[in-house]
Copies of this chain bind each other. A is one copy, B any other.
Amino acid sequence: MKLTLRQMEIFLNVVASGHLTNVAKEMKLSQSAISMSIKELETILGKPVFDRINKKLVLNEVGRAFYKEIDPIYKKLSDIEYEFKNSENKGIIRVGASTTIVDYLMPTIICSYMSSYPDVKITLKEGNTKEITQMIQEGAIDVGFVEGLVFEPDVIKEKIGVDELWVVSASPKFNKGCYIDELAKEKWILREEGSGTREVFLNYIKDKVDKLNIFLELGHTESIKSILVNRECLTCISKISVENEIKEGKFYHVDVKNFDCKRDFLMIYHKDKYHSTLFDKFVYFSKKLMLQMLDTEQYNRSKYIK
């Protein structure tokens, strides 16, 4: 036999009022229902919690300790139930994103979102497009942000922006118009094999460039940026990862003619995903912010308007 919440509720009310009859009225139940519920509770515990002194039920030493334990817990449970029934903004959203997005977009989104919805917690996982997609399929994350293409049928994808790859350098030497094939024999630093950024770039130039002089391959964008500083090298990376440095004059966006290398940023989620208000709000919020951040021009303009 196990205690029920109902029994606890009735018990607490009886403690509060001291009379079964009052409680019965308050709870719109018959007096015998209350009496039997209390008796059942005592049977389950194996001992009385009330002394029947005169017509009153007075907590005894056991009941008193029981009350002290149960009362705060019952209240807390009620609060939780109320919160979840009434609050739209309570939950834990698990987000997954691929490398570039994790590093350069997610921090802004998460900080901004959490300040608007303090009751929502977010956990962030990193992975490449394939891994993130699989997490969606397995239900390991609620929503994913990836660069690259997704074809799985049970995964819904929404284009949330365009990722632009820029040729970047720290040296002013390249800071004049030119064509991509003229740069082929310069020293290039690229991401490692398997990286989406690398693949897209190489695929894009394969018709125009015979052989690219790749002199260094690194696993992280930040590593590339560190090496790039003060050296006469070139790289091709996502514009969002170097925007700040270019603004500061640390790097140059090399003006390569006829170079327009783009790919989509996607938001993905499972087709069977239940769209809670919470989920929808997060999706709406992050899509909006993504678009702002990815369209720099529009983003800067909106700053002035504000």
A-side interface residues toward B, CB under 8 Å? 2-6, 44-48, 51-54, 56, 58, 60-62, 64-66, 68-70, 73, 76-77, 80-81, 84-85, 90-94, 121, 137-139, 142, 270, 272-274, 276-279
Contact = CB atoms under 8 A, between A and B. Distances in A.
A56 B139 contact: yes
Contacts of A64: 91-92, 94
B85 A46 contact: yes
A18 to B, nearest CB: 10
A77 B81 contact: no
Nearest to A76: B73
A121 B73 CA distance: 20
Nearest to A79: B69
A5 B58 CA distance: 26
Number of copies: 2
A76 B273 CA distance: 32
Contacts of A5: 2-5
Given A60-B274, A70-B80, A65 B279 contact: no
B94 A139 contact: no
A53 B92 contact: no
Nearest to A270: B53
A39 to B, nearest CB: 13
A276 to B, nearest CB: 5
Instruction: Please provide the 8 A-B residue pairs with the shortest distance between their CB atoms, ordered closest to farther.
Output: A58-B139, A61-B91, A53-B139, A64-B92, A65-B91, A61-B93, A48-B274, A62-B91
Contact of A276 (B47, B80, B93, B94): B47
B77 A92 contact: no
Contact of A61 (B46, B58, B76, B92): B92
B76 A90 contact: no
Given A56-B139, A84-B66, A270-B51, A61 B276 contact: yes
A37 B105 CA distance: 41
A285 to B, nearest CB: 14
Given A60-B273, A60-B274, A276-B60, A121 B65 contact: yes
